[in-house]
Chains A and B, each alone.
Chain A
Amino acid sequence: MEFGPHLVLAILEGAVGAAVLALTALGLSLVFGVMRVVNVAHGEFFMLGAVMAWFVAAAIGGHPAVGFIAALVIAPLVAGVIAMAADWLVLKRVNYDPEATIVATIGLLYIMQQSALMLYGPEARPVEAPFNSRIALPWVEWGEAGLQLYYPWGFGTTSYKLFVIVAAVVLLLAFWAFLSRTRFGLVMRATQLDRETALAFGIPVETVYALVFGLGAALAALAAVLIVPIQQAHYLMGGDPLLLSFIVVIIGGLGSIRGTIVAALLIGMSDGVISVFFSPTLAKILATLLVALVLVFRPQGLYGKTAT
């Protein structure tokens, strides 16, 4: 086992995963924080984003960057509009009752998965990255014969993966500014803190809810567009992001953006880094237990204020 390169790569890969996870989880955190509903279909909006990216790229053709940029705009919009329609048609009508919402969003999950299977198909399909050059550095090590160079067993990654990290950071910063500097952000935070008071102050809570649900879905779709040149669009891809986002939101502490990001990093990194020391599956088991224990001994999450 090559300890050094493994660790470097585990951290780098972990960062890419964490970046995308943070965006996805942020969407869920918004919905969960503001509306107090468990959106089981959140992962399906992620899937929708990836599938839309494939459709847009296939329809536009030409240089992959054109399709990619178009997908960055179109996929979140489509996901957002569908989510708002679902909110208006269903969630509003059950008064955001937590239990009814679970069943309703499971229903939505079935509907979206089957639609994707029929319209998009069962295959995993790739979307070309706008740019993707390989970055490989050799690994240097002191061996018996002095300084030795190992290649390509070193640091191998691509420019696109680095771009994903940067893009996610930019998007997260923009989102933070949006929440803290704009009027809508203020309204959202007010609704999150106290729905009744917000209503009393004349905030159109229903509209805010619809927009929040749409925004949450759009964030998931956006994250998927970023990841789809690395992974592929597949109609069952929504399961993992759903589970991981849930875990991130709760570990981070409800309503804390900072917590969500720290938790995404923790979860993105942990199994990669642990897999340096243990066999991969065992590493995954240990990482899962470790993260669960964080919550056991800090039930309010890393940055949460109250236990819910």
Chain B
Amino acid sequence: MTSHRLTSRRSLLKGAAAGGLLAASPLAARFASAQSEPIRIGFQQHQTGIGAAYGRWYGRTTEAAVKAINDAGGINGRPVEIVAEDDGTDPKRGAEVIEKFATQHNCDIAFGTLFSHVVMGSAPAAGELKLPYFVVSEGHHVASGALNRWTLQPGITDVKSQVSSMAPWVTDTLGKKVTMVFPDYAFGHDHRDFFSAAVKAAGGDVVGLIPIPPTETTFTKYFPQIPRETEVLYHVMVGPAVLTFVKELGEFFGPSAPAIFGFIDSLEAVDLASPGLEFLDGTYFWEGNPRYAQADQSEYDKAFRAAVGVDDTGASTSDAKDVSTYAHMWGCWETLYIIKAAMEASGYAGPDDRQALVEAVEAMTDMPEGMEHPQGPKLFNGRTHQVFGRQYVSQAKEGRLVKVHATSIEDTLYPDEVDYTTMSF
């Protein structure tokens, strides 16, 4: 927590310095001091536990976004301060941290959770405390209607839209007969259900389902279960054992593999040049945001990389071995800019305006590509509290990922499952 405190204090000073320009007259000084009480954002961060690799990059992205926002004058003239607390990637601690934000740290809002079970564990607390809770999780939990009016996901797309928008491309380009390998818990089951349905709709067929127990550390023994008629192998694994999974897949199939399509979740924060991953060359990945700078890179992506400290290969500019979670972490950046926009739209002044803040987010719709949305344009659905945006498919080529397909936003839409705006606060 200290490191974040330090940076946020530093950015606080900068914000104060910017405010100092106004302070030419005594009257302005009094006005500025009343106004420059910082906006406190509770950052629920996975500093330890299974999500720590993600948490670190979520932290770096958040720092960069807050610095950019403060350098440009903060929100409503007030600087932003991040209060980071570790949730240990644990739902119990997550709920406690939410309470700490609301009742101890006097935070205006809570933000930044990635792992679905922490979101599920924390959302009831956020709802009871009437604390706007902005998650960056890509889970389908928000849009499924399981949560509450105070929980929103405006800065990252959800797994249902990601998965179902991939299916038509997979069946058209790679093959019709798909076998899925997925972890045998909720995250994997979401992939199984949404992808199976979408493949069927696209005229394909899921010929094999191989659920892997989450406690597993070796995988080769499951590969003979892959039906021999398989044309496309779809994999999505998370956790520290994923590298083993991909390596063993290569060792099993060698050069005579079916087409392989995976979710980059399997290899977030992992160097593609790692030993054993040569096998992945030529295979395809879903990416939330292309890790390698592409030929048609937008100026916003370029500036985003520079701000966060990521080079053209998706690694830290200070350590090439420190690979980022590039497909997800932009969600923190965009979410913070949405918070800024909503606070400005609602004239947010303090905790009494929390309801107005949620309503201001719900009123949002189109979000054009720009420095606030470097990943691409977005469409927000206020009823389901969920944002929609482009998805990318990349191919591994000589240790890089090259973008081969981008969906439209329309490809990722699905019918509403909930209308949060009809629920009471």
- Residues in A lying within 8 Å of B, measured CB to CB: 1-2, 5-6, 9-10, 12-14, 16-17, 64, 114, 117, 121-129, 132, 134, 136, 150-153, 156-158, 230-232, 234-237, 240, 272, 275, 279-281, 284
Contacts and interface: CB of A to CB of B under 8 A. Distances in A.
Task: Please classify how large the interface on chain B is, using the bins under 10, 10 to 19, 20 to 34, 35 or more.
Answer: 35 or more
B415 interface: no
Contact of A234 (B226, B240, B275): B240
A153 B220 CA distance: 11
B254 A124 contact: no
B55 to A, nearest CB: 7
A158 B252 CA distance: 9
A218 B86 CA distance: 33
B211 A240 contact: no
A121 to B, nearest CB: 8
Nearest to A10: B221
19 contacts: A2-B225, A6-B224, A13-B221, A16-B218, A117-B52, A122-B52, A123-B53, A123-B322, A124-B242, A128-B275, A150-B228, A152-B257, A153-B226, A156-B254, A230-B244, A231-B241, A232-B240, A235-B52, A281-B211
Nearest to B46: A122
Interface in B248-285: 251-254, 256-257, 269-270, 274-276
B184 A280 contact: yes
B294 interface: no
B386 to A, nearest CB: 28
A280 B215 contact: no
Interface of B: 48-50, 52-53, 55-56, 184, 210-213, 215-218, 220-226, 228, 240-244, 247, 251-254, 256-257, 269-270, 274-276, 322-323
A152 B254 contact: yes
A64 B224 CA distance: 30
Nearest to B244: A231
A134 B218 contact: no
B220 A126 contact: no
Contact of B215 (A2, A117, A157, A284): A284
Given A5-B224, A128-B275, A280-B184, A236 B240 contact: yes
Contacts of A14: 221
Given A10-B221, A117-B52, A123-B53, A281 B184 contact: yes
A114 B48 CA distance: 8
Contact of B225 (A6, A114, A124): A6
Contacts of B211: 279-281
A232 B251 contact: no
Contacts of B247: 126, 230
B118 to A, nearest CB: 16
Contacts of B254: 134, 136, 152, 156
A275 B217 contact: no
Nearest to B257: A152
